[in-house]
Amino acid sequence: MLTVHHLRISQSERIVWLCEELGLDYDLKLYNRRSDNRLAPDEYKALHPMGIAPVIEDGELVLGESGAIVEYITAKYGDGKLVPAPDHPDFADHLFWFHFANATFMTNGMMAIAAQQAGAAEMPPFVADRTRKAWQMVEARLGEADYFGGSNLTTADIMMGFQLTTSRAFNSMSIDAFPNLKAYLKRIGARPAYQRAMAKAEPGMPPKLD
């Protein structure tokens, strides 16, 4: 059976959401962050050489990296769901936002955290500029289409979701200036699969959708 190892309040929630959207039978194992440094516990770090979330097991396979896991699960178990075909008009947009999620959007946040940890009084200008542009692109995209991947929810939305929701629990960022994003998160929050995923992945923690 497919096993999803979810470190609470982390991007591994993406994999739980994906499994729920696909209606898969899977085993979910939850791990709480350490109380002293808020990092993954030793038993989670032991799952994969990188020691970070997410991680899945499928038989003898142990696989890390969100994008790789999402592509693996959809290719093996998705039966064509959540991924537009190459001849679909949404295919290129889907690919862009699928890869933008970690290659640019989440990287901006990690650079900001690194600067803060290094003692910077404010975000470096190039990071601030990249971050501003990224959020502007998010708002613009959601004014053009209901979902990042186009007219229907795709794995691009699965990848983008964490940075737009749970990740904001680490800061006080307001999204009041992003009405298209707020409407999008309302649509996401109404999805039964998302509701099931967050209830399983983050019991007792309401999804951060506004």
Is it the case that residue 8 has pLDDT exceeding 70? Answer: yes
Query: Domain 2-81+194-201's class?
Result: alpha beta
Averaged pLDDT of the chain = 93
Q: What is the pTM of this model?
A: 0.94
Given CATH 1.20.1050.10, say whether it is the number of domain 91-191. yes
pLDDT at 115: 60
Domain boundaries, the chain: 2-81+194-201, 91-191
Reported for 52-55, long-range contacts at CB under 8 A and 24+ positions apart, including other chains, are 53/5, 53/6, 53/7, 53/10, 53/11, 53/12, 54/4, 54/5, 54/6, 54/7, 54/10, 54/11, 54/12, 54/14, 54/15, 55/5, 55/12
DSSP lists the bridge partners of residue 63 as 56
Is it the case that residue 111 has pLDDT exceeding 70? Answer: no
Is it the case that residue 46 has pLDDT exceeding 70? Answer: yes
pLDDT at 128: 81
> Residues 193, 21: contact at Cβ < 8 Å?
yes
Tell me whether the CATH fold assigned to 2-81+194-201 matches the one assigned to 91-191: no
173 residue type, one letter: M
Cα–Cα dist 17/15, whole Å: 5
3-state secondary structure of 163: helix
- Of residues 50 and 171, the one with the higher pLDDT is 50
Is it the case that residue 148 has pLDDT exceeding 70? Answer: yes
